């Protein structure tokens, strides 16, 4: 449980400003940088065809070559979770402090 005693900095009267939602949210760039695809499965597999071997010296007969197997990768999606319980008094103190500072600088 989050108690007011765990957040002594928020109770300091020396703070001039508390930055809460004061920065502009940036657009997510992940879809622009990566090939994001949706999945319903518990894991995804990717693989690659490897290199074609070096060509052999021609001795009157063409040697047959084929690509080798490249890598195989399996991505398993792990779920994470956590919660924060907050004391009602702490929420009231935070709202009071943020409101007091906002009024002083408005």
Tell me the pLDDT tens digit for each residue of 52-94.
888 888 889 998 888 888 888 998 888 889 987 766 776 677 7
Distance CA 72, CA 52 (A): 17
In terms of C-beta distances under 8 Å and separation of at least 24 residues, what long-range contacts does 94-103 make, across chains too?
94/7, 94/10, 97/10, 97/11, 97/15, 97/18, 98/18, 98/20, 101/15, 101/16, 101/17, 101/18
Whole-prediction pTM = 0.36
Domain extent listing, the chain: 4-17+43-105
């Amino acid at each position: 449980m989050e108690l007011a005693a765990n957040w002594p900095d928020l109770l300091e009267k020396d703070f001039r400003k508390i930055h809460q939602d004061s920065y502009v949210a940036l657009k997510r760039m992940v879809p622009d940088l990566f090939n994001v695809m949706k999945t319903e499965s518990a894991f995804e597999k990717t693989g690659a065809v490897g290199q074609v071997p070096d060509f052999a010296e021609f001795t009157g007969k063409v040697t047959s070559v084929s690509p080798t197997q490249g890598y195989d990768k399996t991505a398993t999606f792990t779920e994470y979770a956590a919660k924060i319980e907050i004391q009602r008094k702490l929420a009231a103190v935070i709202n009071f402090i943020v409101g007091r500072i906002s009024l002083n600088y408005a």
